[in-house]
Amino acid sequence: MNVPVAIGSTFFGCMSNVVFLELLVKEDPGIGNLITFSQFFLIALHGFMFTAKFGTKKPSISVKGYLILVAMFFITNVLNNYAFDLNIAMPLHMIFRAGSLIANMV
């Protein structure tokens, strides 16, 4: 795959994700937590199957350090989902969601 196709695919994926998220939130403002749970579950399942090799591969970082990162990321996402109940504009919500990246980098 060449670079322009990769960049275009990334932008298309992100933009379509935002459009469908906005459509879902308009139908049911409380659906954010279900979406977050589904994302966490699928990512954890994928990681368990392919990265941890069904638990047979020893983790390269401590479980305690990993749990702290997961907890911070999850709490930030749940708080971001609370913003859906406040009926703020989606571009402003995207700025709030970008704050989770900063929290994870700390």
The string of pLDDT tens digits covering residues 7-32 is 999 999 988 988 898 898 889 888 88
As a whole number of angstroms, the longest Cα–Cα distance in the chain is 45
Q: Say how many Å lie between the first and final Cα of the chain, rounded.
A: 34
User: 18, 35 in Cβ contact below 8 A?
Assistant: no
Whole-model pTM: value is 0.67
Q: Is the pLDDT of residue 103 over 70?
A: no
